[in-house]
């Protein structure tokens, strides 16, 4: 069984994590969820735990097992890392080596040979901001692949690029990557 670590950051699109988990589970993928603290204001860890059938990780200082270091274990015992939604803040942290929460720490510990996907979700101005674009370019240099956001009406009412890609498109990309990568 293939294993995916799904990182969920604090965007209104966080609710789509439930659909991503559901669709991956239908395809016999074992999903382990990491949430940023602020993402828990958009969707509860309990919801994602029930859907995934696995504990949801929020606090890097919580170590459920004395036999292993949780963030290292999650990073090294998976077939693919997916951050969806990926906010400007999360992209900036990962691109600049800031590891101050569970998600950014796992991203830092994930082997560069592993498929790593990011699905940005934010306001158009934030997405087009030179700092965000520079962070995306840096992440691509580091081997991350962007699942490009789409143009539509955003939560703020603006119409433009920045909405997280459609769940079905994310699933197609994840499954294609899983089918081309060997088990870790």
Q: What is the 3-state secondary structure (H, E, C) of 51-68?
A: HHCCCEECCCCCCCCCCC
CATH code of residue 70: 3.40.50.1950
What is the rounded distance in angstroms from the CA atom of residue 172 to the CA atom of residue 175? 5
**What is the pTM assigned to this prediction?**
0.94
Residues of the domain holding 95: 2-180
Q: Which of left, alpha, beta for 29 (phi over 0: left; psi -120 to 50: alpha)?
A: beta
Tell me the per-residue pLDDT of 30-77, one tens digit each, with 9 for 90 and over.
Answer: 999 999 999 999 999 999 999 999 999 998 767 676 677 678 888 888
Region class of 81: left (phi > 0), else alpha (psi between -120 and 50), else beta? beta
User: Which parts of the chain register pLDDT below 70?
Assistant: 61, 63, 65-66, 69, 181-184
Confidence (pLDDT) at 51:
98
Which residues have a catalytic role annotated?
156
Give the count of domains, the chain: 1
3-class SS of residue 148 = coil
């Amino acid at each position: 069984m293939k294993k995916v670590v799904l990182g969920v950051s604090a965007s209104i699109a966080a609710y789509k994590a439930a659909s991503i988990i559901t669709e991956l589970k239908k395809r016999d993928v074992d999903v382990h969820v990491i949430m940023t603290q602020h993402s828990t204001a958009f969707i509860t860890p309990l919801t994602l735990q029930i859907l995934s059938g696995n504990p949801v990780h929020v606090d890097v200082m919580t170590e459920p097992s004395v036999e292993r270091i949780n963030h290292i274990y999650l990073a090294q015992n998976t077939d693919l890392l997916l951050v969806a939604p990926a906010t400007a803040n999360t992209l900036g942290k990962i691109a600049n080596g800031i590891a101050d929460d569970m998600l950014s720490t796992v991203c830092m510990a994930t082997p560069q040979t592993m498929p790593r996907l990011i699905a940005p979700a934010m306001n158009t101005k934030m997405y087009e901001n030179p700092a965000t674009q520079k962070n995306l370019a840096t992440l691509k240099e580091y081997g991350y692949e962007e699942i490009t956001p789409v143009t539509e009406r955003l939560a703020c009412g603006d119409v433009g690029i920045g909405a997280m890609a459609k769940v079905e498109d994310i699933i197609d990309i994840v499954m294609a990557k899983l089918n081309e990568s060997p088990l870790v």
